[in-house]
Amino acid sequence: MSGFQFEAPTSVDEAVGLLGNAAGNARVLAGGTDLLVQLRAGVVKPDLVVDIKRIEELKAIKQESDGSFVIGAAVCGQAISENEALHKAWPGVVEAMDLIGSTQVQGRASLGGNLCNASPAADSVPGIIAAGAICIVAGPNGRREVPVE
């Protein structure tokens, strides 16, 4: 693993600013189950790693008044598995996250990371597509909604 700058912002806006102003290649760290392996193997060589686990809204599961859910990008599989309301509303999403790794991995692996890593073996993706999930993507021009397809 070569040297890189490491930042741990406490807000989405701060993370977006860091990523937008990065001089070179930047990566987001949520659970790290894929990124840390890639770093150790030298597959990715970022200039900046932005850890999003200190951003409270990205670690939360929130049920909206219409019954829908907002699941933060840094929510780990264990938290998803332990949420009874999600079990009832989105059993396929919960089951898909349960397929990812061991108990130890479940405590780290995130739904957002599993989706964004874009691995063909990403176990959670079929479940979130079937649930009609929509990602809220934050960038320098604000936030936008993108259907998971």
Q: Which two tokens stand for residue 100?
A: 């990812």
Buried b (16+ CB within 10 A) or exposed e, 40-74: eeeeeebebbbbbbebeebbebeeeeeeebebbbb
CATH code for the domain of 124: 3.30.465.10
Q: How many CA atoms lie within 13 A of 64 on its CB side?
A: 5
Per-residue pLDDT of the chain (149 residues; tens, 9 = 90+): 568 999 999 999 999 999 999 989 999 999 888 899 899 999 999 999 999 999 999 999 999 999 999 999 999 999 999 999 999 999 988 998 888 878 788 788 898 988 888 777 778 888 899 999 999 999 999 999 999 99
| Residues 109-138 pLDDT 10s | 898 988 888 777 778 888 899 999 999 999
Q: Distances in Å between the alpha carbon of 98 and those of 9, 17, 29, 101, 122? A: 28, 33, 21, 8, 12
Contacts of residue 44, Cβ cutoff 8 Å, sequence gap at least 6: 25, 27, 35, 38
- Beta bridge partners, 146, equal 135
Round to whole Å and give the CA distance between 55 and 72.
9
Query: Whole domain around residue 130: which residue ranges?
Result: 5-147
Q: Which helix (H) or strand (E) holds 88?
A: helix 84-89
Residue that is written with structure tokens 């780990």 in the block: 76
Q: How many domains does the chain have?
A: 1
